[in-house]
Structure 1
Amino acid sequence: MIKVLHNNSCSKSRGILEFLDENNVPFEIIDFVENPLTEIEMKTVLKKLNMNVHEIIRKNEAVFKEKFADKTLSDEEWIKVLIENPELIQRPILIKGSVAMVGRPIENVKFFIEK
């Protein structure tokens, strides 16, 4: 089963859920805005994504521009920022076993669910 780290205010995230549903792919929704990830969960997701924390920060978000654009923080500090400001996390993130991906573009999601 695929786990989807989901932000309901994001049209791309809602679109991925619709795509999975239409293609009869079983999935579990994890609303990371309503239920923020723990530090350990965030680190686990980053490891499964094979990405560093800077790669999953949404730098176009207003909160990033207002509070963090001029900051130089350590990876640990950025993880805490993302936990406290989950709207800054790229989404959706799909997790299948020991691997994960940011669910864009849709072509990559198709490949991900087929492997």
Structure 2
Amino acid sequence: MAATRVTIWHNPRCSNSRGALQLLRERGIEPVVVDYLSEPPDRATLLQVAADSGLGLRGLVRDKEALFGELGLAGAGEDALLAAMLAHPLLINRPVVITARGTRLCRPPETVLELLD
């Protein structure tokens, strides 16, 4: 697994994100760490990750974020969710871990282990 590229969409202020990163490193994996708040994904990447994770955009959006409510996204369609997530990367849930074995939202952090076995 160490030779396989692993990417994590990371927010260092998030305990789940720190936990997933720590679990990867404890297993000898140094992932590509993407600070998605300062380097947000483009449209195609976000759509691909949403599809690959099996969650869709609705499953990747942080619906408990105050901004979600402020933007009135509770009943929003996919296009509105996509536009909001691209404009406000804070609305993208984390951590997302991408490996050759799959893509997962790693909440709780131990979910990352499913990608390593």
TM-score (norm 2): 0.85
2:59 maps to 1:24: no
Q: Percent identity?
A: 25
Q: Does the Cα contact within 8 Å between 1:48 and 1:98 map onto a contact in 2?
A: no
Question: Cα 1:110–1:46, aligned 2, differ >3 Å: closer, same or farther?
Answer: same
What is the CA distance between 1:92 and its match in structure 2?
0.2
2:91 maps to 1:88: yes
Matched pairs, number: 113
What does 1:65-76 align with in structure 2 at a 5 Å threshold?
65-69=69-73, 72-76=75-79
After superposition, the C-alpha distances for 1:47-80 in whole angstroms (9 at most, x for unaligned) are 211222111111111111222245x432122111
Unaligned runs of 5+ in 1: none
Secondary structure of 1:87's aligned partner? helix
Unaligned runs of 5+ in 2: none
What is the CA distance between 1:6 and its match in structure 2?
1.1
Secondary structure of 1:18's aligned partner? helix
Superposed CA RMSD: 1.7
Question: Cα 1:65–1:31, aligned 2, differ >3 Å: closer, same or farther?
Answer: same
What is the CA distance between 1:33 and its match in structure 2?
0.3
2:35 maps to 1:14: no
Partner of 2:66: 62
